[in-house]
Chain A
Amino acid sequence: MKDSTSQFSIRTKHLSLFYDDARALKNINLSFHEKQVSALIGPSGCGKSTFLRCINRMNDLIQSVRIEGSVLLDDFDIYQAGVDPVKVRQHVGMVFQKPNPFPKSIYDNLAWGMKINGITGDYDELVEHNLKKAGLWEEVKNKLKSSALSLSGGQQQRLCIARAIAINPQIILMDEPTSALDPISTTIIENLIEELKQNYTIIIVTHNMQQAGRIADFTSFFLLGEVIEHGPTSQLFYNPENKKTEAYITGRFG
Chain B
Amino acid sequence: MIKLLFRSLFRFLAYLLSFFQIKNKKIRELVYIIVFQLCLVFTFLTLLTLILRVIDESFGFVLTKNTKQVSEVFGETTDPNSLTKTQLINVMKDNMRRGTVRTLDTEKPLAQRTEENLLDLINEFVLEERVIKTWSLYESIFTLHSIRRIHESTPHSQLKFRNWINLTFLINKQSSFPEFTGIRSALLGSVFIVCIALAFSLPLGVASAVYLEEYATKNRLNSIIQTNIYNLTGIPSILYGILGLAIFVRLLLPLTQGRTILSAGLTLGLLCLPIIIINSQEAIKAVPNSLRNSSYGVGATKWQTVWHHVLPGSYERILTGVILAISRAIGETAPLVVVGAATFITTDPTGLFSKFTALPIQIYQWTARPQESYHHVAAAAIIILLFLIISLNSTAIILRKRVSQRKIEQ
Contact = CB atoms under 8 A, between A and B. Distances in A.
Contact of A102 (B218, B294, B296, B301): B294
A166 B291 CA distance: 18
Interface string B279-302: 000000000101111111111110
Nearest to A113: B298
Given A96-B290, A112-B308, A102 B295 contact: yes
Contact of B297 (A87, A96, A98, A103): A96
Nearest to B290: A100
A101 B301 contact: no
Interface in A87-101: 87, 89-90, 93-96, 98, 100-101
B293 A96 contact: yes
A85 to B, nearest CB: 8
B297 A89 contact: yes
Contacts of A101: 294
Interface residues of A, number: 27
Contact of A116 (B291, B292, B300, B410): B300
Contacts of B294: 96, 100-102, 160, 163
Contacts of A166: 298
A63 B298 contact: no
Given A116-B304, A149-B410, A58 B297 contact: yes
A117 B309 CA distance: 16
B217 interface: yes
Interface in B294-324: 294-301, 304, 308-309, 313
Given A63-B217, A100-B290, A103-B313, A164 B298 contact: yes
Interface string A79-90: 000000011011
A172 to B, nearest CB: 10
Contacts of A112: 298, 308
A61 interface: yes
A107 to B, nearest CB: 15
A167 interface: yes
A94 B410 contact: no
Interface string B310-353: 00010000000000000000000000000000000000000000
A113 B296 contact: no
Nearest to A118: B299
Interface in A101-153: 101-103, 112-113, 116-117, 149
A89 B299 contact: yes
Contact of A58 (B296, B301, B304): B296
A86 to B, nearest CB: 5
Interface string A153-188: 000000010011011000000000000000000000
A248 to B, nearest CB: 28
A56 B297 CA distance: 8
A98 B290 contact: yes
Nearest to A163: B298
Contacts, number: 62
B309 A102 contact: yes
A116 B296 contact: no
Given A58-B293, A103-B313, A112-B308, A89 B298 contact: yes
Contacts of B290: 96, 98, 100
Contacts of A95: 297
A117 B308 contact: no
Given A96-B290, A103-B313, A89 B296 contact: yes
Q: Which of B297, B313, B410 has the most CB of A within 10 A?
A: B297
B297 A63 contact: no
Contacts of B304: 116
A166 B297 CA distance: 12
B297 A116 contact: no
Nearest to B302: A86
Interface string B200-220: 000000000000000001100
Nearest to B308: A112
Nearest to B409: A149
Contacts of B296: 58, 61, 86, 89
Interface string A7-23: 00000000000000000
A113 B297 CA distance: 9
A116 B290 CA distance: 19
Contact of A90 (B291, B292, B299, B410): B299
Contacts of A149: 410
B315 to A, nearest CB: 12
A160 B294 CA distance: 8
A100 B291 contact: yes
Find the residue from B217, B294, B298, B301 having the highest chain A CB count within 10 A: B298
Nearest to A95: B297
Given A63-B217, A94-B293, A113-B298, 7 more contacts: A63-B218, A96-B294, A96-B297, A98-B290, A100-B293, A100-B294, A112-B298
Interface of A: 56, 58, 61, 63, 86-87, 89-90, 93-96, 98, 100-103, 112-113, 116-117, 149, 160, 163-164, 166-167
The 7 closest A-B pairs by CB, nearest first: A90-B299, A113-B298, A100-B290, A94-B297, A100-B294, A89-B299, A86-B301
23 contacts: A58-B293, A58-B297, A61-B292, A61-B296, A63-B217, A63-B218, A86-B300, A89-B297, A93-B297, A96-B290, A96-B293, A96-B294, A96-B297, A100-B288, A100-B290, A100-B293, A101-B294, A102-B294, A113-B298, A116-B301, A117-B299, A167-B298, A167-B299
